[in-house]
Amino acid sequence: MMLTITMTLFCLFIVFHTLYIFIPLYTSRAQKRDYPTKEKGISILIPAYNETLVIENCLMGILHVNYTDLEILFINDGSTDDTLETLHKHLNLAKTSRPKEGVLKHGEVREVYQSEIYPYIWVVDKENGGKADALNAGIDFAKNEIVITLDADSILEPNSLNEMNLTFTDESVVAAGGLVNIVQGFKRSGQKLIPCFKLPGLIRYQVVQYLSAFYLHKTTQSRIGSMTVIAGAFGAFRRNILIQAKGYRKTVGEDMDITLRIQELIGTVLKGKRIVFVPEAFCYTECPASFKNLYRQRIRWQKAFIDCVITYRKSFYRKMNFKVSTYLLVDSFLLGTVSAYPTLMVPIIVLATMSHLKLSLILLLMSIVLAIMQDIATLLVSRRFGHFYSLRDFITLIVFLPVEVIFYRITGLFFVTIGTILYFFDKDGWSRSERIGEPIMLDIGVKASVKDTLGG
């Protein structure tokens, strides 16, 4: 009986992870992009709560963006540090008034500022109400058809808005996720950021994980129409859909929550609409550099996930379509969370009873091989999108893969198991990742020019 369950789960695992390799491998290709001449209006929303350390990075990214029909709204969610002052320093903010639609509820807005240097940049200063509340305020103020949400530590790649614009020319697309790169995994070379793998192990692990999560997993999900999370670091939505979905819910993982809300709409009143992943549109973000912070981040993610599974438990297969429900329940919940417990128990049971030792070894070996294959496929696919490593880095990376699979991935199991348990004891006890705020400006020139402008 146990063996039947094990084998069933393992086969499901193999099926999903083989799909993750071959669907992206055979469908991903860098295409020649014909960007539409007409720009759709884009409103970028950046909620910020005590982001002094990183907000400058974010700002530099945005200033560098190659797009004109654009407005940017920073939503200062009652920061108690110098976030607002930092923005003022660079933007020269002036109090103004700005109409809002009043379609979504949110905390009280104290002031609205407009930059005197860049008139398309606005800052909404409001009472603290959490990230979801800040985003709702942003949606309410936003004027444009497309709303893009960024984290305050996301650095937007200059061409990514054009990519999003192109994506949304397809009327069936109601929301799109961009690719999130780990900024520590790049080094500056002239005007460009190029991938670099000379990193501490913990960051290497996350770099590889992000690459495979986006280039393989999200690509696959997008192809089969089962996107369950648009990363909060870089998401794009049609504004009317966000309003139809009644905005963001105050929860640990508001990014997954809004995605599932939209999936509910797609499953009911918006049949035929799609949520897609756009690997060509990307931003850079910092990843936790210490184990402690990684632990906090992952526990938070897991809590967010469990929260969504519980919140939407009645929607699966009813409001959400089959693919989304199955993907989330089988791959994410059953294989990702539930199986983690027996997986951790297996070595103990096997060593205690010495039975099925051979089976365990075969399963372990298959998992390791599959994981390494997935990593190799990640490298192949990411190359097609211009993610090249130098030969030296490439060799380091190849050598690192088995280490990553065998040692670092085990930590993932602990995060999942502990996070799930902690969710039930301590739903709100979470903190966001500690910001590092390395000055990783896209371009020193921009920074200098900002300073000049400020000075002048």
Partner 1 sequence: MKKYAVSNLLFTVFFLAIFGPLCYLLYDYVLNFALPPVAAKQSLSDMNTALLTVNRDFSSAPEYADNVPVLMYHQIIPESQLKKHHFTEDGDINEMVLTLEEFTKQMDYLKDENYTVLSLKEFEGFMTNQKKVPAKSVLITFDDGFKNVFEFAYPVLKKHGFYAVDFIITGLITNRTVDYDSAFLQYASIEELKEASDVFDYGNHTHSFHDRNDDGVSYVEAYDRAKVKENLIKANEWIGHSMAFAAPYGEYTTTTLDILKELNIKMGFTVEPGYVNPSQHILEIPRYAIYPFYTVNDFEYILEH
Binding site for partner 1 (CB under 8 A): 3-4, 7, 21-22, 25-26, 29, 356, 358-359, 362-363, 365-366, 369-370, 373, 376-377, 380, 384
Number of residues that this document lists for the chain = 456
Q: Which residues contact 47 (CB under 8 A, 6 or more apart)?
A: 75, 77, 131, 134, 135, 138, 149, 151, 152
369 vs 448 by CB, closer to partner 1: 369
As measured in angstroms, the least distance from the Cβ of 366 to partner 1 is 5
Residue among 126, 410, 172, 429 at smallest CA distance from 296: 429
**Residue 374 and residue 344 in contact, taking contact as beta carbons nearer than 8 Å:** no
Residue among 152, 169, 142, 176 at smallest CA distance from 70: 142
As measured in angstroms, the least distance from the Cβ of 250 to partner 1 is 44
15 vs 269 by CB, closer to partner 1: 15
As measured in angstroms, the least distance from the Cβ of 14 to partner 1 is 8
21 vs 199 by CB, closer to partner 1: 21
| CA distances to 236, 292, 344, 350, 403 from 288, in Å | 24, 8, 25, 35, 19
Helix runs in 217-280, H state only: 219-224, 239-244, 254-267
As measured in angstroms, the least distance from the Cβ of 372 to partner 1 is 9
* Residues linked to residue 109 through DSSP beta bridges, in sequence order: 126
149 vs 343 by CB, closer to partner 1: 343
The string of DSSP codes covering 325-340 is HHIIIIIIIIIIIITH
As measured in angstroms, the least distance from the Cβ of 384 to partner 1 is 7
The gap between the terminal CA atoms of the chain, to the nearest Å, is: 76
As measured in angstroms, the least distance from the Cβ of 194 to partner 1 is 22
Burial of 189 (0-12, 13-18, 19+ CB in 10 A): exposed
User: Cα–Cα distance between 245 and 241 in angstroms, integer?
Assistant: 6
User: Cα–Cα distance between 71 and 367 in angstroms, integer?
Assistant: 47
31 vs 80 by CB, closer to partner 1: 31
As measured in angstroms, the least distance from the Cβ of 380 to partner 1 is 6
6 vs 160 by CB, closer to partner 1: 6
